Amino acid sequence: MFSRLVLAGINPVKLQNKTVAILGVGGIGTVIAETLTRVGVGKLVLVDKDLVGPENLNRLGFSPSDIGLPKAEAFAKKLLEFNKTRKHLRLDVEWYHVNIINWPKLDMIIKSADIIVTSFDNLDARLEVNERVVKNRKILVDCGTSLDGWSGRINVVIPGKTPCLACYYDPSMIYGERESWWTAPCGASLPTTMTIVATLASDQVLRILLNLKGVYSRILVSLRNDIIIRPFHMKRRKNCEICGEINE
């Protein structure tokens, strides 16, 4: 299963002892989870509060037979099928059908993971995880798409080095005003945009786990007229209430 990864210079054995927590198992989270499974990551933790509905079938991840099941449970079962071909590089999957807001186990999940990935459809959940990630000095890869479905973005939060999410979404910041459309409940969803965003996020996770170059604090994607991908090295906000006092 992994023979062609080796030809690309990726050693899946180095990923066997890595744990990635994916919070939000929708059109983006499922693609990230499957991609990391296919490159050899040893453990995934899937967390989502929703059930699979017919509206979720217009993007990758779920099948009609999954309707009515918790998203995290349904996708965990799909991923564990890969153990038939992963052989000695086994995959361990934990899943939780829960709302992460004020969830007692959230800190435990964050502490146990090498990287946390969030792909929620609301800002409160993103900022909740962001604060816990910064407090525990973990790495966060946060991603999402716009209400019209045509744009997306990935933020990489490395405490003390890159901006945390609160650096962008403080009400006094221009990003908080300009990007208010990121924060509303899920609107349109295009599998094209979601898959591109998920692929770029998976790439950032893989580069971080393998200590490779090419990690950006922010990547913006636009598909409305042309496919435009813009990576940025953004600076932290010095007076950020969450990460402002942290040093590298």
**pLDDT attached to residue 248:** 66
pLDDT at residue 182 is higher than 90: no
Kindly list the domain boundaries of the chain, sorted by start residue. 3-232
What is the residue whose two structure tokens read 């180095």? 14
Mean of pLDDT values over 199-220: 97
- In the chain, what is the straight-line distance between the N-terminal and C-terminal CA atoms, in Å? 38
Q: Residue 87: what pLDDT?
A: 86
Phi then psi for 92, rounded to 5 degrees?
Answer: -110, 130
Tokens in use for 137?
């000095």
Q: What is the separation of C-alpha 209 from the centre of its chain, rounded to a whole number of angstroms?
A: 14
**The CATH number of 3-232 is which of 1.20.1530.20, 1.10.510.10, 3.10.290.10, 3.40.50.720?**
3.40.50.720
pLDDT band at 175 (very low <50, low <70, confident <90, very high): very low
- What value does the mean pLDDT take over residues 57-80? 95
Residues marked as catalytic: 186
Q: Rounded to two decimals, what is the model's pTM?
A: 0.93
Helices (H), the chain: 3-7, 29-39, 71-80, 83-86, 106-112, 123-135, 165-169, 174-178, 191-209
| Pairing of the two strands 115-118 and 151-157 | unpaired
Distance CA 137, CA 124 (A): 20
Asked if residue 190 has pLDDT above 70, the reply is yes
